[in-house]
């Protein structure tokens, strides 16, 4: 006669493999959170190195750029590609910690002249399509009417010429005093814009 062995009743509960996997699943969640935080910190750090956040406070670029608007500034890549005429930049004047928002007009080595209410580069007048009031180009705020730029100097002006303290009165801006090139206007959202270069028809 075959005698069946008594076996202990199975206690209902979580399968052994599920119970064993529970700590592993918890560790995976913690690791995912840690990796997300680490990635955020890396992105944030890189953004601080490569980009700057700037709020326009002056009226020197009205109406193309208004006080209160916010832009992102490329602080690194422009050094590899170089600045171009028409670029909008954030910079500082010597012995002044205030950020200023201006447009690059003259490049290193060029002769910039204001004559007959026009800006001339190396003796040739340039057309400035971003000026809504072209009659306001004259150098009424300057003490000189011609500048020869050094190898690390830029002539910068505001678009709102009659209300802009710029290279006409301050002189050229040194490359070392340029914070970066304006890249993106992100606020207000209704004016979201990649800030373009300018075609001078050359």
Among the listed residues 60, 75, 164, 167, the single catalytic one is 60
Query: What stretches of 57-108 adopt beta strand conformation (E)?
Result: 70-74, 88-91, 100-106
CA distances from 158 to 33, 112, 169 (A): 47, 15, 12
Q: Give the C-alpha separation, 108 to 122, whole Å.
A: 12
Q: Identify whether 102 is a catalytic site residue.
A: yes
Residue 104 burial by Cβ neighbours in a 10 Å radius (0-12, 13-18, 19+): buried
Among the listed residues 75, 102, 164, 167, the single catalytic one is 102
Q: Identify whether 164 is a catalytic site residue.
A: no
Residue 157 burial by Cβ neighbours in a 10 Å radius (0-12, 13-18, 19+): buried
Catalytic residue numbers, as ranges? 60, 102
């Amino acid at each position: 006669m075959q005698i069946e062995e008594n076996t202990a009743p199975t206690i209902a509960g979580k399968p052994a493999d599920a119970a064993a996997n529970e700590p592993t699943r918890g560790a995976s969640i913690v690791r995912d959170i840690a990796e997300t935080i680490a990635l955020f910190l890396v992105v944030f750090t890189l953004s601080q190195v490569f980009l700057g956040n700037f709020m326009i406070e002056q009226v020197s670029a009205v109406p193309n750029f208004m006080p209160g608007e916010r832009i992102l500034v490329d602080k690194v890549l422009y050094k590899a590609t170089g600045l171009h005429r028409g670029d909008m930049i954030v910079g500082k004047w010597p012995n002044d910690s205030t950020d200023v928002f201006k447009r690059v007009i003259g490049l290193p080595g060029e002769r910039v002249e204001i004559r007959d209410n026009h800006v001339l580069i190396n003796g040739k007048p340039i057309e400035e399509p971003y000026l809504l009031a072209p009659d306001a180009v004259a150098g009424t705020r300057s003490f000189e009417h011609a500048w020869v730029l050094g190898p690390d100097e830029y002539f910068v002006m505001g678009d709102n010429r009659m209300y802009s303290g710029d290279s006409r009165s301050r002189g050229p801006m040194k490359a070392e005093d340029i914070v970066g090139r304006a890249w993106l206007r992100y606020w207000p959202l209704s004016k979201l814009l990649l800030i373009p270069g300018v075609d001078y028809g050359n």
